[in-house]
Amino acid sequence: MTQQFEIYVQNKPGDVAWVAEVLSRNSVNIRGISTDLGSAQPMIRIVTDDEASARSALRAANLEFSEREIDIISLPDRPGELAKVAKALSRSGVNIESIYILGTHGNSVGEVAIATDDSIRAREVLFKYL
């Protein structure tokens, strides 16, 4: 099970730099990052390679954050693959609440982080991609 950190910020210049610096000073590698800075509660979403160290670093820096379970799936890197996954989740009544690409392995497989409103049901649907 992988955790996504949702770090609440003020949406001002330097927020992303500060979070990245806090993690780098603690030797935490950022695997994936996305921002939602235009919302009522601006946040930076991060997936790291060391959740315990990330948690400790964020607390030490007095950054407000929450954690959320995500699923990381591997998809062939070609048109339509994400559409298939999104459609399968939709048909099962699972809502995607956040999604972003973490990276690729070689030339043919991409890793995607997905947070949903029903992680148990999502895992049943995503079983073949996990």
What confidence tens digit (pLDDT) does each residue in 72-82 have? 999 988 899 99
| Domains, the chain, ordered by start | 2-68 (3.30.2130.10), 70-129 (3.30.70.260)
Query: What's the pTM?
Result: 0.87
Q: What is the pLDDT of residues 25-68, one digit of tens each?
A: 999 999 999 999 888 899 999 999 999 999 999 999 999 999 99
Q: Is 70 exposed, middle or buried (0-12, 13-18, 19+ CB in 10 A)?
A: buried
